[in-house]
Structure 1
Amino acid sequence: MRLFYAGRVPRWYLGFVAGFLILAGLLPGLAELIAADQNVPRPIYNGHPGKQQVALACNIFWGEEYLPTMLDALDRGGVKVTFFIGGSWAKRHPDLVRELAARGHELANHSYSHPHPNTLSVEQNQDQILRTEKLVEELTGVKTKLYAPPYGEFNAAVLKAAAGVGYTTILWSVDTVDWKRPPAETILNRVLGKVHNGAIILMHPTEPTAQALPELIFRLQARGYAIKPVSDILN
């Protein structure tokens, strides 16, 4: 009996097997290999490993009530970060989008309606990105260039869509998991226990994040980390 097939394995079969293994947690990095094999850019998880700097990446589709407290903490720490803006949120809160830009923070793109990107075509993903780009540019004069896909989802279509309209896909290497609203001390411990050179630290505007942010900035800076926007740590 022949145990191995020596001919060409269909790409759809490899994709099926890879997807199963990723969902099973057996090959968590395989999605990147698939992306590379299909000649699409890989997503970026972190910045330059040789420089003692980190970036705070804040995804916004809700939590606007906590932004003033967070912005004040950032100002006191002398820190600029990257806000990944949801388009439908920006439409509801144009003044807050303008304030983020006025305070000197980097504005980036987090889709328009927060769909599951892996369920969309290349064209549908591009529509999500471009609708948000247009709105943010109309409000602030800033053209976004970084894209954080909702849920951290990506496949070949998502990556091709972003690259096709001039975007770099950004993920993260340290996750606060603050959307679960843990105590502020838990957020601090998660970040400080995993932080590294070039870390992209994912957060959202939540009450515990706002509470943790002043101490987080202080402790990161005390360890010698410069806190910069995502674009700055990619160079």
Structure 2
Amino acid sequence: MKKVSILILIGLAAWISVNNPIVSPYVASLKNGALPVYKEKDTLYQSIVKNASTYEIPPQDAKIDKVWKAIPGYNGLKVNVDASYKKMKQNGKFDERNLVFSQIKPKVHLKDLPPSPIYKGNPDKPMVSFIINVAWGNEYLSEMLATLKKHHVTASFFLEGNWVKNNPELAKMIVSAGHEVGNHSYSHPDMTRLTATQAREQMLKTNDVIEAATGQKCQWFAPPSGGYRDETVQIAAELKMNTVMWTVDTIDWQKPSPEVIIKRVISKIDKGSIVLMHPTDSTAKALDRLITLIEQKNLTISTVSELMNEERVLK
């Protein structure tokens, strides 16, 4: 019994000697320091560390541009050294194809900027958006939706409130197909001629009817015919919506041929472009080839929300 007690006391003393405020940090430092010491002698690890800065890209802050107004930020890239080492360790040599990156967020975001219209996405993001303003043209919507589905492309449909009231099933069909919906006023007025009260009413009524029909809340507002005042943009912001314009206009309401629409867009399309279109016969016929040609330029087509997202496109 005495021997057992002595052994217990020895064990307790040993445990206390290791787990005390002075020794514990030292033991922890030995554990934490073991891996870095090993890596310091590993040529592969050091090669990754040495080359990391070559592949790093700083993030871009959102800003107000003199010409293009509000421009969203864009994430930067930083090499994740440990993850890259783990991926390359099997072959034992540096291979840039196996580098693992972490995205670094900018310090200034779109939401930090004063209310300002948006004409394009970040010019370094290889993505574009189709904004399709809908106040008429029901007969062409099904064909356009079918083409978008064929190419696995999502777009942003800006719906007139009065149109949604009269066509709730079509509005639901757009959302069910995975597309984004935005606010295009209630009765398509010239927003520059409205009082603040009238402008607010146009936006609020449209938000209400779109949410009632589709369950979606609008976060983007596209003024009819691109008409706005600073006050219009401010009111939209107060309703938690950003005002969206466009970079490239198809001018499809003039009923040009599909070939003219394609040439008009492809000659101007670039990273970050927002392409304005409507449900017209010409656009419906041009859409299939237009998508193909845009994608051949290594540009992804997605919604305005995706275009404004700071997430870096990695290919």
TM-score by length of 1: 0.83
- 5 Å-filtered alignment, 1:1-235, equals 41-235=115-309
1:51-104 CA-partner distances (Å, limit 9, x unpaired): 111000000000010000000000001100000000001111111000001000
User: What residue ranges of structure 2 are gaps of 5+ in the alignment?
Assistant: 1-65, 70-112, 310-315
The worse-fitting range, judged by mean Cα deviation, of 116-125 and 78-87 is 116-125
State the distance in 2 between where 1:234 and 1:30 align.
18
1:40 touches 1:159 (CA, 8 Å); kept in 2?
A: no
2:129 maps to a residue whose letter is A
Deviation of the 1:187 alpha carbon: 0.2
Q: Answer yes or no: is the 8 Å Cα contact 2:161–2:187 preserved in 1.
A: yes
> CA–CA distance in 2 between the matches of 1:127 and 1:187?
34
- Tell me how far apart the structure 2 counterparts of residues 195 and 49 of structure 1 sit (CA, whole Å): 11
Unaligned runs of 5+ in 1: 1-28, 33-38
Higher alpha-carbon Rg: 2
Partners of 1:233 and 1:198 lie apart in 2 by: 7
Question: Higher relative contact order at CA 8 Å, sep ≥6: structure 1 or structure 2?
Answer: 1
TM-score (norm 2): 0.62
Residues 180-203 of structure 1: per-residue CA shift (max 9 Å, x gap): 010000000000000010000000
* Alpha-carbon distance in structure 1 between the residues aligned to 2:298 and 2:68: 33
- Is the Cα–Cα contact under 8 Å of residues 31 and 155 in structure 1 kept in the other structure? no
RMSD over equivalenced CA pairs, Å? 1.7
Whole-angstrom CA distance in 2 between matches of 1:120 and 1:161: 12
* Preserved contact between residue 59 and residue 203 of structure 1 (Cα < 8 Å): yes
Which contiguous aligned blocks of 4+ residues in structure 1 show a shift greater than 2 angstroms? Answer: 29-32
3-state SS of paired residue (1:198): coil
